[in-house]
Structure formats: structure tokens, C-alpha cells
Amino acid sequence: MSSATVFGVCGAVVIGLGLYGLITSPQPLRKIVAFNLVGSGTFLIFGVVARRGAVAGLGSDPAPQALVITGIVVAFSATALAVALLLRFFQATGSATLRASAPPSTASDTSPG
């Protein structure tokens, strides 16, 4: 069993776990964490593909590695944007629910200045 197989299956399971959390967690922040798990499992499979392409004296194919580094940065900036949206939503409505039927809160925008 090669390391590519072990970590490839690990990446697939992480994607499954993230998908499950994304569907079942009612808290939006936990959906963001779960979505990051899906992304990170995908990156891991990229890493496995890179490892399998190890030839010419390189331990790992550099092209997928570079794509993963770019992906990590983009995933982080998307996470930061999602968290900022969520915090602003909480500030404006006083709740963080995604339910359409939730009773509208009367809390207005009152952040300390």
C-alpha cells in the first residue's frame, strides 16, 4: 500500500465528512468549517496526484503543488469573506439562522463606535 493510496482514501473520506457537516450543521460558522474540509480533502487528492507524478529527481510533481498553494490562498480569502458576511448578518439581525421562517428580530444596527 503506497502513501498515495493511504492519503488519497483519507482525502476522499475528509470530503465525505465535510459534505455531511455542510448539510446537517444548522450553525453557519460550522457550515463554513465543513466547507473548508471539503476543500482541503480536494487539495489532498491533488497532493496524491502530485506524489504519483514524482519523476525526474523531483519528489512530487510541482504543477499540482503550485495549484494547491494558490487554492489554499483563495480558500482562505473566501473563508474570510464568508465569516465577515456572517458577522455582519448577525450584527444587523441579532441572529445567525439560515431558516427562512425564523421570526424577524427587532435588533437594529447598534455597534459600539
Partner 1 sequence: MSFQTALELVLAAVVLGVAIWAIAAPETSAAVVSYVAYGLLLALIWVALDAVDVALAEAAIGGLGGVLLLGAAARLRATEAQAKAERPGPAVCVAAAMLSALVAAAIAAAVLLLPVPAPTLAPAAAANAAATGMANPVTNVLMAFRAMDTVLEKVVLLLALVGIWSLAPDNRWGGNPGLRHQADPRGVLAFLARLLAPVGIVVGVYMLWNGADHPGGAFQGGTILAAMWLLVTMAGLMDTPRISSRRLRLVLVAGPAIFLTVGLGGLWFGAAFLAYPQAYAKPLILGIEVAMTLTIAVTLGLLLAGAPERSAEP
Which residue matches cell numbers 455542510?
A: 22
Cβ-based nearer residue to partner 1, 84 or 104: 84
| DSSP tally for the chain: helices H, then strands E | 3, 0
Cβ-based nearer residue to partner 1, 32 or 104: 32
83 and 27 Cβ atoms separated by less than 8 Å: no
70 and 58 Cβ atoms separated by less than 8 Å: no
Distance CA(61)–CA(64), nearest Å, equals 6
45 to 104, contacts with partner 1 by CB under 8 A?
A: 45, 47-63, 65-70, 72-74, 76-81, 83-88, 90, 95-97, 99
8 to 27, contacts with partner 1 by CB under 8 A?
A: 8-21, 23-27
Return the amino acid letter for 47. G
- The minimum distance between CB 104 and partner 1, in angstroms, equals 14
- The minimum distance between CB 39 and partner 1, in angstroms, equals 11
Cβ-based nearer residue to partner 1, 106 or 111: 111
